[in-house]
Amino acid sequence: MKFGLRHYLRSYFAPQAAVLMYHRVAEVKSDIWDITVSPENFEYQLQILQQSGNVISLSELTGNASKNRLKSGNIALTFDDGYADNYHFAKPLLEKYKLPATFFITTSNIGKKTEFWWDELENLILFTEHLPTFFSMNINGEDLNFELLQEAELTPEQQQINRNWKACEETPPNMRCAMYLKLWQTLRPLPQKKQQQELQKLRDWAGKAISPRSGYESMTENQLRDLSRNPLFEIGAHTVSHAALGFHDITFQEKEIRENRNLLRDITNQPVDLLSYPYGHFNTQTLQAANQTKFKAAFTTREEFVKNQTEPLQMGRFQIKDLPPEKFSAQFNLVQRWC
Ligand SMILES: [Zn+2]
């Protein structure tokens, strides 16, 4: 019998490792995608991770998996997007605790004050004080209509509701949140130029010019170079424009991946062999593109452990939230128990 007891036991006790996924380390007023950890909680988390003695670099972890040499309980840390707060807050703390990490960088905002489109959209729809009462617009071929009515004026109570909303796990509590989510879903599949054209229509509707908030910018070239100089850290690819790859044809996908990697190599003068898919979005052509561009491993956002011989271009990760020490400890112990 092919799947007998021996097979079951072998797979049950097979060593597993976990890749942890961070995005931002900062103090923010709202965090609707639950991707920001405060510097204080981040330091507590690093203390717990350091005490485990199990953190290794992502290259080592993926190398071990490909050679059937994975050790149970191994952990690797990753950061997506390239926010400047990674440089200001995560880097010094990782250095303090001597923990290795990989930073997956989207390059289109490097050195600019520009916000990522989803941050600007959040600020525009959820936190603009006065918006028009009605919204009726064709966005990427779809007629969208929203009646904000009394929500057009942002009250302190409403602002609090919008700040506390977790778009990733809760249904929208009001019309502004519903509108944000629908626009996010409509804009996400688009190429960057089109995204910006549609965003301009929304700015005009809201009567707001582009005014990037400080704290939402990406790293500069110099910061990225400085980060990459520390042997603890590794730079990985995350596309030029943070494209949701699976929505695009293979030529577009390959261009996004290749140009991003080339620029990262130029800036850091180091190899860039690891990739993470923006939004964890990919399809079979993405795997083909990652294969053709010769990445050693690529990461999704699926909460899965890495095992020996895990498909290297579809490795899972566990998103880490802004948890205080006791809650993080409980979650971490759970992950370690399964490793
Ligand atoms: Zn990302």
**If you write DSSP's letter for every residue of 162-196 in order, what string do you get?**
HHH--TTTS--SSHHHHHHHHHHHHHTTS-HHHHH
pLDDT by residue (tens digit) across 199-208?
999 999 999 9
Per-domain boundaries in the chain: 117-206
Dist. CA 86 → ligand 1 center (Å): 13
- Residues 66 and 319: their CA atoms lie apart, in Å, by 23
The answer to whether 147 and 134 are in contact (CB under 8 A) is yes
Task: State mean pLDDT over 76-96.
Answer: 98
Dist. CA 177 → ligand 1 center (Å): 21
- Residues 76 and 50: their CA atoms lie apart, in Å, by 11
Task: State mean pLDDT over 329-338.
Answer: 86
State the chain's mean pLDDT as an integer: 95
Dist. CA 293 → ligand 1 center (Å): 19
| Burial of residue 237 (number of CB atoms within 10 Å: 0-12, 13-18, 19+) | buried
- Residues 301 and 320: their CA atoms lie apart, in Å, by 11
Dist. CA 219 → ligand 1 center (Å): 14
Percent of the chain clearing pLDDT 70 (strictly above) = 96
Dist. CA 304 → ligand 1 center (Å): 18
Task: State mean pLDDT over 81-89.
Answer: 98
pLDDT by residue (tens digit) across 260-318?
999 999 999 999 999 999 999 999 999 999 999 999 999 999 999 999 989 999 999 99
pLDDT given at position 333: 86
The answer to whether 218 and 106 are in contact (CB under 8 A) is yes
pLDDT by residue (tens digit) across 223-232?
999 999 999 9
pLDDT by residue (tens digit) across 242-273?
999 999 999 999 999 999 999 999 999 999 99
pLDDT given at position 338: 82
The answer to whether 328 and 45 are in contact (CB under 8 A) is yes
pLDDT by residue (tens digit) across 92-106?
999 999 999 999 999
- Secondary structure of residue 255 in the 3-state scheme: helix
Q: Kindly indicate the confidence band of residue 1, based on its pLDDT and cuts at 50, 70 and 90.
A: very low
Task: State mean pLDDT over 8-30.
Answer: 86
